[in-house]
Amino acid sequence: MANAPLSTERFRLWPETPPGGPPAANRKGTAEPTVSVYRPPRPDGRGVVVFPGGGYVFVSQVGEGANIARALAPFGITTFVVDYRLPVDGWNRRYDVPLQDAQRAIRLVRRHADRYRIDPKKLGIMGFSAGGHLGSVAVTAYDDEVYKPVDFADTLSARPAFGGLFYPVTTLTVVPPRSQSRRNLLGPDPAPSLITRYSAVERVTVRTPPLFLCHAMDDPIVPYWMSTGLAKAARARGVAVEMHLLETGGHGFGASLPPDLTGSRWPEMFALWTKRHTR
Partner 1 sequence: MRIDRRTLIGSALAMTLASRANAQEWGKPTPAATSVDRPDWPPPEHFPLWPNGAPGTPDTLPVPHNTMNGPAGDRQLWLYGVPEAFVAVYRPKTPNGHGLMSIPGGGYGFLSVQNEGMDIARYYTQRGYTVFVLIYRLPGEGWAQRWDVPLQDAQRAMRLIRARASTWGIDPETLGIVGFSAGGHLGASLATLYDTKVYEPVDADDERSARPAFAGLCYPVIDLSIDKSHSSQNLLGPNPPADAVARYDTSRQVTAKTPPLFLVQALDDPLVNPDNSLAMLASAREAKVPVEAHFFEEGGHGFGIEHLAEGLPANLWPELFALWMAKHGGGAATPA
Among 192, 162, 179, smallest CA distance to 251 is for: 179
- Whole-number minimum distance, CB 162 to partner 1, in Å? 11
Residue number with CB closer to partner 1 (158 or 257): 257
Rounded CA gap, 200 and 271, in Å? 24
- Whole-number minimum distance, CB 65 to partner 1, in Å? 23
Residue number with CB closer to partner 1 (175 or 261): 261
Neighbours of 222 (CB within 10 A): 28
Asked if 247 interacts with partner 1 (CB under 8 A), we say yes
**What does the radius of gyration of the chain's CA atoms come to, in whole angstroms?**
17
CB under 8 A: which stretch of 31-39, 56-64, 123-131, 256-264 binds partner 1? 256-264
**HEC string of 2-67?**
CCCCCCCCEEECCCCCCCCCCCCCCCCCCCCCEEEEECCCCCCCCEEEEECCCCCCCCCCHHHHHH
Rounded CA gap, 259 and 178, in Å? 28
- Whole-number minimum distance, CB 235 to partner 1, in Å? 7
Asked if 273 interacts with partner 1 (CB under 8 A), we say yes
Asked if 12 interacts with partner 1 (CB under 8 A), we say no
- Touching partner 1, residues 102-131 (CB under 8 A): none
Binding mask 195-224 for partner 1 (x = CB under 8 A): ---------------x------x-------
Among 246, 252, 255, 278, binds partner 1 (CB under 8 A): 246
Asked if 259 interacts with partner 1 (CB under 8 A), we say yes
Residue number with CB closer to partner 1 (38 or 270): 270
Q: Could you give the 3-state DSSP secondary structure of residue 81? A: strand
DSSP-derived letter for residue 232 is: H
Residue number with CB closer to partner 1 (156 or 245): 245
Among 231, 233, 251, 252, binds partner 1 (CB under 8 A): 231
Among 173, 176, 240, 256, binds partner 1 (CB under 8 A): 240
Asked if 48 interacts with partner 1 (CB under 8 A), we say no
ω into residue 22 within 30 of 0, thus cis? yes
Neighbours of 202 (CB within 10 A): 15
Rounded CA gap, 29 and 66, in Å? 18
Residue number with CB closer to partner 1 (11 or 224): 224
Distances (CA, A) of 168 to 14, 101, 119, 148, 150: 27, 18, 27, 28, 30
Residues near partner 1 (CB under 8 A): 210, 217, 228, 231, 235, 240-248, 259-262, 265, 268-270, 272-273, 275-276
